[in-house]
Amino acid sequence: MPVPPDPTDLYPDIASHGSLRAAVHAVSEGGLATTSMRSSESEPLTHVAVDCPLPHRNPLLISAWVHERRWSIRGTDAFQDLELVGGRTEDLKEVAAAAVAWHTGQSLSALLQAAPFVHLSGRFEVPDLDPALLTASEWQHLRTEANELEYPWGPAYQALVEAAHAELALRRLYPFTSHWALRFSTTTRPNLTVVGPMLAARSIDHYTVSKSMTGNDGAQFSTPGDAVAAAVRELPVDLGSTTLGSP
């Protein structure tokens, strides 16, 4: 693996400011005070966290790439620590625009308007931690993610996610994935309570419902609808409403 260049060579302008925090402050043209950001003690030229006054948001993390000149951002919620926004760009002014929007508590859609490089995960913010809304948010994320997949099996996975979402018994459960197998929980993150089988898409006409990652111990189906129907039959009876997972 090639040795990454010295950050001062890759980011001489950042080095001239002394830290990424100072550089973001400078290009934000007064939109961000240095006191609203926290530099990495070990890597001040490549990492900084931008505070947000909203208690349901974690600080926005800004990271510089080590092998080429580029920055990434990641903004997560404070309860589940799941990504709300991400993105990468070669323009530090765009990074600063996203940071200002995050720091001032603007909506996710407004953040995208302020910095078009931003990618929305599909999750929405749930300040009151309503478990039903957290569940709906996670379903929206999985559907967004599946729709954006470019892998050869992407269409099959998307069809499976959509078929599972269309089934009320599954849509009421909190969804998550493990090695691209679709699974379900009666509690939200951060403490999942797994229930029922796992669903996997092997190809556009090959779906499995099983108890293991390999799918060898389960049933095989040619359509996502048939696989979903089989999964529903394996759910425990009288499942209550999804509840909040304790930290």
Q: Give yes or no: residues 13 and 116 share one domain.
A: yes
- Residue at a domain's end among 83, 101, 120: 120
Q: How many domains does the chain have?
A: 2
- With respect to residue 33, please indicate whether it lies within any of the assigned structural domains: yes
- b/e for 86-118, b at 16 or more Cβ within 10 A? bbbbeebebbbbbbbbbbbebebeebbebbebb
Start-end of H helices in the chain = 7-10, 12-17, 20-27, 92-103, 108-114, 131-148, 154-166, 168-171, 224-233
pLDDT at position 66 over 90:
yes
Answer yes or no: is 244 within a domain: no
Q: What pLDDT score does 216 carry? A: 64
Looking at the structure, tell me whether residues 12 and 63 fall in a common domain: yes
What distance in Å separates the CA atoms of residue 50 and residue 36, rounded to the nearest whole number? Answer: 6
Q: Is 174's pLDDT higher than 70?
A: yes
Mean pLDDT of 203-213: 89
User: Is 113 in the same domain as 139?
Assistant: no
**Interval 40-56: pLDDT, tens:** 999 999 999 999 999 99
In this predicted structure, the answer to whether residue 15 has a pLDDT above a threshold of 70 is: yes
Mean pLDDT of the 170-193 span: 96
Q: Mean of the pLDDT values across residues 109-127? A: 98
Does residue 125 fall inside a structural domain?
A: no
On whether residue 242 sits in a domain, the answer given is no
Same domain, 177 and 148: yes
What percentage of the chain has pLDDT greater than the value 90? Answer: 89
Whether 52 and 156 share a structural domain = no
pTM: 0.94
Is 197 found in the same domain as 100?
no
pLDDT at 215 over 60: no
Q: What pLDDT, on the 0 to 100 scale, is given for residue 214?
A: 58
Q: What does the pLDDT read at residue 213?
A: 61
Query: Do 142 and 178 share a domain, yes or no?
Result: yes
- Among 120, 151, 181, where does a domain finish? 120
Residues 106, 211: one domain? Answer: no
Range with lowest mean pLDDT among 65-69, 188-192, 209-213: 209-213
Over 70: is that where the pLDDT of 109 sits?
A: yes
Report the chain's mean pLDDT, rounded to a whole number. 95
Q: Does any domain span residue 243?
A: no
Same domain, 103 and 200: no
153 lies in the same domain as 109: no
Out of 64, 90, 120, a domain closes at 120
Closest CA to 128 of 165, 77, 59, 81: 77
Residue 211 resides in a domain: yes
The verdict on residue 126 lying in a domain is no
Domain of residue 94: give its range: 7-120
Q: Are residues 82 and 158 in the same domain?
A: no
Specify if 238 maps to a domain. no
Residue 101 sits in the same domain as residue 147 = no
